[in-house]
Structure 1
Amino acid sequence: MTAKPLFTLLEPDAAGAPVRIWFNDAPLDVPDGRSVAAALFAAGVRRFRSTPVSGEARAPYCMMGACFECLVEIDGVPGRQSCLVAVRDGMRIRSQEGARDLPPPQASGTARNEGGKDDAR
């Protein structure tokens, strides 16, 4: 049985110039202007992460940021949604195996959230 791809380009000739990214230490030349998930799919990657509970393989499902099945480590930052991040030359991507590591607790009583505001702890 031959598997058919779930996703195809609407405009196949609209691919950007190639950029080099690295996935699990292997170099991949992919078209610029795509999401990390789309670029990895186009390069033949089918396993993006494993679940923390069973260790089962996972890959992108919705391609719009709702399902969180596409989590990978990008440039040393775990838990990134690969469908929402655009590829760029030199990007280092690793599959996320199990649960991501949590950062060490901060010594002070406040922490900065993503919006730059202080959260009381």
Structure 2
Amino acid sequence: MIDIDGVAVTVEPGETIAAVLLRQDQPWSRQTPVSQSPRAPYCMMGVCFECLAEVDGTRSVQTCMKPVQDGMRVMRQIGRPRICG
């Protein structure tokens, strides 16, 4: 079980956070900084950075590359992403 924006979600061992997000009614992981358009995981292999979200307090995590762990807290990312530093 993980938490997405305060809602408990059942997960399967070995799946990524992005895969779990895509199963949700609202599958987006972040909003663009300028127009606030929702963006969802796209390439699922760590190239496009559309899947960025906050995971356990760390912003700009590539959710397509991060396997779920019981008790994770995921927040959809609002605002400018921070990829480095």
CA shift, 1:48, in A, is 1.0
Which consecutive unaligned segments of at least 5 residues does structure 2 have?
none
- Which TM-score applies when normalising by structure 2? 0.89
Higher RCO (Cα < 8 Å, 6 or more apart):
2
SS of 2:3's partner is strand
Coordinate RMSD, CA, aligned: 1.6
CA distance in 1, matches of 2:12, 2:53: 19
- Which residue does 1:97 correspond to in 2? 78
1:50 counterpart letter in structure 2: Q
Structure with larger Rg: 1
The reply on whether 1:87 has 2:68 as its aligned counterpart is: yes
- Deviation string 1:20-63 (CA, Å, 9 cap, x unpaired) is 00000000011111111012223444121100111111001100
1:25-64 pair list within 5 angstroms: 25-64=6-45
* Sequence identity (%): 43
Count of aligned residue pairs for this structure pair:
83
Structure 1: give runs of 5+ residues left out of the alignment: 1-19, 102-112, 114-121
Deviates more, 1:22-31 or 1:45-54: 45-54
CA distance in 2, matches of 1:46, 1:38: 9
- How far apart, CA to CA, are the structure 1 residues paired with 2:67 and 2:7? 19
Q: List 4+ stretches of structure 1 deviating above 6 A.
A: none
**TM-score, structure 1 as length reference:** 0.64
